[in-house]
Chain A
Amino acid sequence: MSAAPIEARGLAQSFGFTPVLRAINLQVESEAGVLICGRNGAGKSTLLSLLAGLGTPTAGAALLFGAPSNRLEPALRRRVGLLTHQSFLYPNLTARENLTFFCALYRIANPAPLVRSWIERVGLASAADERVRGFSRGMEQRLALARALLPTPDVLLMDEPFTALDPEGARLAASLVGDAMTRGCAVLLTAHQVAQPGSLPLVPYELVRGRLVRLDPPSNLHEAAPAISRQAV
Chain B
Amino acid sequence: MAAFAAILRKDLRLELRAGESVLTLVALSLLILVVMVFALDPVGGPRDAGTAAGALWVALIFAGTMGATRALAAERENGCLRALLLSPVDRATLFCAKLAAAFIFMAIAEVAAVFVLVLFFNLDFDMRLLRLGPSLGLGALGFAALVTLLAAIAGRLRAGDLLLPLLAVPMFVPALIAGVKGGELALAGAPLAAAAQWLKLLTAFDVLFLSAGYLLFEYAISED
Interface residues of A (CB under 8 A from B): 52-56, 70, 74-75, 77-78, 80, 82, 84, 86-93, 97, 101-102, 104-107, 147
Contacts and interface: CB of A to CB of B under 8 A. Distances in A.
Contacts of B79: 84, 86-88
Given A70-B224, A82-B86, 20 more contacts: A78-B88, A84-B82, A86-B79, A87-B78, A87-B79, A89-B78, A90-B10, A90-B78, A90-B80, A91-B77, A97-B10, A101-B6, A104-B3, A104-B5, A105-B3, A105-B6, A105-B84, A105-B89, A107-B2, A147-B83
A111 to B, nearest CB: 10
Given A55-B223, A104-B2, A104-B6, A88 B88 contact: no
Nearest to B90: A74
Given A55-B223, A104-B2, A107-B3, A92 B78 contact: no
A106 B89 CA distance: 8
> Size band of the B side of the interface?
20 to 34
Interface stretch (B11-19, B133-141, B147-155): B11-19
Contacts of A107: 2-3, 88
A53 B222 CA distance: 10
A87 B79 CA distance: 7
Contacts of A84: 79, 82
Contacts of A90: 10, 14, 77-78, 80
Nearest to A84: B79
Nearest to B16: A92
Given A105-B89, A107-B2, A97 B13 contact: yes
Contacts of A70: 222, 224
B222 to A, nearest CB: 8
Contacts of B88: 74-75, 77-78, 105-107
A53 B224 CA distance: 9
A64 to B, nearest CB: 11
14 contacts: A52-B86, A54-B82, A54-B86, A56-B224, A70-B222, A78-B87, A88-B83, A90-B80, A92-B17, A93-B13, A105-B3, A106-B88, A107-B3, A107-B88
Interface string B70-99: 000000011110111111111000000000
